Structure 1
Amino acid sequence: MAHLLYLVRHGEQLDAEHGVEDGRLSGRGVRQAHAIAQRLSGVHFDHAWTSPLQRATETAEIMQERLPAVTFERSALLLDCIPSGLEPGTPVGFHRFLQSVRPAESEAGAAQMQDAAGQWLRPSRGDVNELLITHNFVISWFVREVMQSPSWQWMALNQANCGLTIIRRRTGKPPQLVAHNDLGHLPPEDRTGMPMPQPY
């Protein structure tokens, strides 16, 4: 019996490089969404969720065209967030970015991800496949949680747009990272969106 969690970062957002916080997908983002949908078309999903932000919901809508049996539910637990703040032991290279984050923002992000882990990183009875369309930092936090790494470790992980990460949970056993940022379904010219969390 296994609980498989499929995590997908949304497709490339149009004008994200110009500081636009949210918006529709670029042409390449649309192609990425079609490609990941094709990749997952043979999987039966018992549940599916998406972040409420436009770039994620549009990715989900495109994927649903090829996965007609899947109904996406929006969840605020999948919103883009800062999962932790500056803590003792955080590498110096990450200090500048975290010092720019308000404590209230990182505290809210940490609480959000604690609730998200409680909902999705849990064993289940029977074989269950769940699909989540979300954001870079959220997926990084899930991976960090599975690996039981220090809180700051999410900053050292990045996912490409429509990259695929798979986590397995089994009763009585620790979670397992089956795949991380798999891009085999994307041609090289469509592999985008792996930003560093802070400038160097």
Structure 2
Amino acid sequence: MTHYLYLVRHGEHLDAEHGLEDGPLSPRGRRQAARLADRLSGVPLDAVWHSPLERAAETARAVAERLPSVTPEPSALLFDCIPTGMLPDTPAVYEPFFGSYTAAEIEAGRAQLDDAVAEFLVRKGDTHELLITHNFVIAWFVREVLDAPEWRWMTISQAHCGLTVLGQRPGRPWTLVAHNDLAHLPMELRTGLPESLPV
């Protein structure tokens, strides 16, 4: 009786290379989503939740085409967001990243992800839920399960349509079963990871 959460970053969106924040999936993003759908076709999903942003909603629809028994539902708890600013133990190398975010945006992001953790990281019995969301949201869930320092979400990256799995058995804490599994994606479809990570 294990509760599984399958966390997926949306597919590549069409205007990502031009710096636009949202948009439909690119042709490559649609191929990523189709491969993800094939990968999940044998999973007995009970629910599919997705960020309301277009790139996540379209990825969810691709999965639903192969899993007609589930209807994707949007959740504002899965929006892209920034959950912290600079913290006392955050390495100084990350400080420039936060320059374009306001205190209000960070406060809202933290409140959202606190609510998301309270909503989804709750034992629900023998359940399989898919969350199609964004890189930072998945990083926060992984950090939470590993009980890592809060700033560590910045060091966790997820490729487009990479698959992360969390599981909880009765009487046990949540476990990171798999992170950023890309076995369903050939090399030419593996996008979204930084070429080099900051130290």
TM-score interval (norm. to shorter): over 0.9
Check if 1:15 corresponds to 2:1.
no
Name the stretch that deviates more: 168-177 or 74-83. 168-177
The CA RMSD measured in Å over matched residues stands at 1.7
- Match of 2:183, SS? coil
Structure 1 segments unaligned to the other structure (5+ residues): none
Tell whether the 8 Å contact from 2:163 to 2:182 is kept in structure 1 after alignment. Answer: yes
CA distance in 2 between counterparts of 1:14 and 1:194 reads 16
Partner of 2:161: 162
CA distance in 1 between counterparts of 2:77 and 2:39 reads 25
Q: How many residues align?
A: 199
Partner of 1:188: 187
CA distance in 2 between counterparts of 1:95 and 1:133 reads 28
- Match of 1:24, SS? coil
Q: TM-score, normalised by structure 1?
A: 0.95
- Match of 2:122, SS? coil
- Match of 1:89, SS? coil
Query: Which residues in structure 2 correspond to 1:106-121 (within 5 Å)?
Result: 106-121=106-121
Query: Which residues in structure 2 correspond to 1:87-126 (within 5 Å)?
Result: 87-125=87-125
Partner of 2:152: 153
- Match of 2:73, SS? strand
* 1:195 Cα deviation after fit: 3.6
Tell whether the 8 Å contact from 1:32 to 1:186 is kept in structure 2 after alignment. Answer: yes
CA distance in 2 between counterparts of 1:171 and 1:162 reads 29
Name the stretch that deviates more: 29-38 or 57-66. 57-66
Partner of 1:57: 57
CA distance in 1 between counterparts of 2:198 and 2:176 reads 28
CA distance in 1 between counterparts of 2:34 and 2:70 reads 15
Provide Cα deviations, 1:125-182, integer angstroms capped at 9, x if missing partner: 3x10001110000000000000111111111011000000000023321110000000
CA distance in 2 between counterparts of 1:48 and 1:62 reads 12
CA distance in 1 between counterparts of 2:93 and 2:51 reads 29
One-letter code aligned to 1:53: L
Partner of 2:141: 142
Percent identical among aligned pairs is 60
CA distance in 1 between counterparts of 2:114 and 2:68 reads 31
Structure 2 segments unaligned to the other structure (5+ residues): none
* 1:19 Cα deviation after fit: 1.1
* 1:199 Cα deviation after fit: 8.3
Tell whether the 8 Å contact from 1:7 to 1:133 is kept in structure 2 after alignment. Answer: yes
* 1:36 Cα deviation after fit: 0.4
* 1:17 Cα deviation after fit: 1.9
Q: TM-score, normalised by structure 2?
A: 0.96
Tell whether the 8 Å contact from 1:45 to 1:131 is kept in structure 2 after alignment. Answer: yes
Check if 1:84 corresponds to 2:96.
no
Query: Which residues in structure 2 correspond to 1:16-35 (within 5 Å)?
Result: 16-35=16-35
Tell whether the 8 Å contact from 2:93 to 2:198 is kept in structure 1 after alignment. Answer: no
Name the stretch that deviates more: 162-171 or 24-33. 162-171
**CA pair 109-193 structure 1, distance change in 2 beyond 3 A:** same
* 1:62 Cα deviation after fit: 1.2
* 1:35 Cα deviation after fit: 0.1
